Structure 1
């Protein structure tokens, strides 16, 4: 910061607000802190009574907070994002597509450790709808050294972006609904419509729904039939508990699927199964998916629809944050569940 004659201030940055008073009418900032002085401002500044100003001179190797936020955001942003113009020194990241937001926490920490850079995000690996705000970045002072911004840009150039949104891919889905009571028409299927609506909200296509009894061979055949029909993801609803009539896990194995994991440290969703038949995921969905607005389904399925390779370790790691608090008004995904 230095004192400069107002006539020599063009191109410099004001260090503080400058008040304009109109007697009997108004009093407030005529020029805001951070304003870059222009030639046309000189006459007005003199009218306010300013002969000298406290300024930062950008020519001395400093970057204004708006430009700093803009440059860091551009370097940190991956695909699937829209960046705002800086407002009060902060640039905001917004999802440009429906998908799963990915955050590299190590790079984020490394950037924040540089000093005077403040970068905050939501939790990663969660579904996000287009238009949701996901992150923001700004610098702490009004101006920062050019060398700091270059260091940040170099760090991100070497390590890659901090945040991106992986778009959902339109997927052909087959639904197998188990349960002799449904198959025999004793009760109406309520599970299938819930799953259908969830997939449609993700932009996927339901290529069919097959009702089967609690017969292992019938369930396995339905899975194989969907595979022959070109399904890119198959879900089997119900029959996932340890009850003797619940034979879905055995049927998935009998169809030839390789089980990735059976059981997940998620409540609701503990009796979940993830298996694969080649590149086609096969999911065994517990009954809680039908009743809860957010469950294991809402955590894992969007990742699969983005083409992510969900492993056993990925599912087991969901235990940290995998307890739903059962809030009266569900705010998922704007909560800690599954993060």
Structure 2
């Protein structure tokens, strides 16, 4: 790359895009990388402030920003992300399908620390829809050392820094507990909320059992749904510390492995997560807040369960920072700080 006067650049090849910015009208390239400069282009280049122009010269140890941008993009994306056209050393990634967006924060930080390149992304562990923007990558200078891009590849390792996990199809069983519902004293207003949230995913509800506060009855209902082929069990009610709230005991008595009873999230502190059997079938105990609060711990955990993640206690523990829903008058979840 060499710098020369614009008036003397006729016949030379541009080594980068030339952007024109007219406030309120346009911000786009008037000339693209590789354009051969003509006599009539000179006034246009001068009008966008280019008294001097960078001309491309091949160098065996250097990469043009667009070539390097492709390398940076490749170390970021997995199979379910669509890259934009490279433009001025920048490539953006968008989702090709609905799913759970994952970020390896340590490797992302390590690549960004190399300098002369950047990767910016939305938070990880969030649900995204097809077409959503996920990340952007850019090379800062017009040319960059090949060796530096090799270091970026080594730093990132063999796996992509980002992963988009498509949602799985699941068969769900719902267990509603509580004497007040079982004996018809009040209407079950919890189950409709659960069905509505499940409708956002590819879920078939194959059974709904209504139980009293008898923990043996609840255990039997869970096992019945498991035997029917459910690969997701949701239990509503009976999750507080009151002596007659027996759902956690009932879940434990199925033989399921309890991951956590309690989560650092508000609303949702009394949440329970367990896994049943070798197939790691999720069994969740949902606190009453899921019925009346717009967003709760259930909204943070369900996308990860639907993407096939097997969560451990430390995954729930990390939710403490960002685990306070601010109950905004207009809810923008997941485009907010809740759970991040």
> TM-score normalised by the shorter chain: which range applies?
0.7 to 0.9
Matches of 1:197 and 1:49 in 2, distance apart?
57
- 1:155-182: per-residue Cα shift (whole Å, max 9, x none)? 33x3421111111110111000111111
Contact 1:70/1:85, CA 8 A, preserved across alignment: no
- 1:234-289: per-residue Cα shift (whole Å, max 9, x none)? 11001101122211111112222221111111101100111122121111000111
Scaled by the length of structure 2, the TM-score of the pair is: 0.87
Look up the match of 1:313: 314
Map 1:56-205 to 2 at 5 A: 56-60=55-59, 62-87=62-87, 89-156=89-156, 158-205=157-204
Look up the match of 2:212: 213
Q: Quick one: structure 1 residues 218 and 49, their matched pair in 2 at CA, closer, same or farther if it must change by over 3 Å?
A: closer
Residue ranges of structure 2 left out of the alignment (5+ in a row): none
Asked whether 1:36 is paired with 2:23, we answer no
Q: Deviation at 1:7? A: 4.3
Residue ranges of structure 1 left out of the alignment (5+ in a row): 20-27
Scaled by the length of structure 1, the TM-score of the pair is: 0.87
Q: Quick one: structure 1 residues 254 and 56, their matched pair in 2 at CA, closer, same or farther if it must change by over 3 Å?
A: same
Look up the match of 1:333: 334
What SS does the corresponding residue of 1:269 show, helix, strand or coil? Answer: coil
Contact 1:9/1:53, CA 8 A, preserved across alignment: no
CA RMSD of aligned residues (A): 2.7
Q: Deviation at 1:79? A: 2.8
Greater mean deviation of Cα atoms: 267-276 or 136-145 = 136-145
Look up the match of 2:9: 6
Map 1:241-256 to 2 at 5 A: 241-256=240-255
Contact 2:125/2:304, CA 8 A, preserved across alignment: yes
Q: Quick one: structure 1 residues 267 and 48, their matched pair in 2 at CA, closer, same or farther if it must change by over 3 Å?
A: closer
Matches of 1:282 and 1:151 in 2, distance apart?
44
Q: Deviation at 1:324? A: 1.0
What SS does the corresponding residue of 2:58 show, helix, strand or coil? Answer: helix
Count of paired positions: 326
Q: Deviation at 1:30? A: 11
Q: Deviation at 1:323? A: 1.0
Contact 1:79/1:166, CA 8 A, preserved across alignment: no
Contact 2:65/2:141, CA 8 A, preserved across alignment: yes
Contact 1:176/1:237, CA 8 A, preserved across alignment: yes
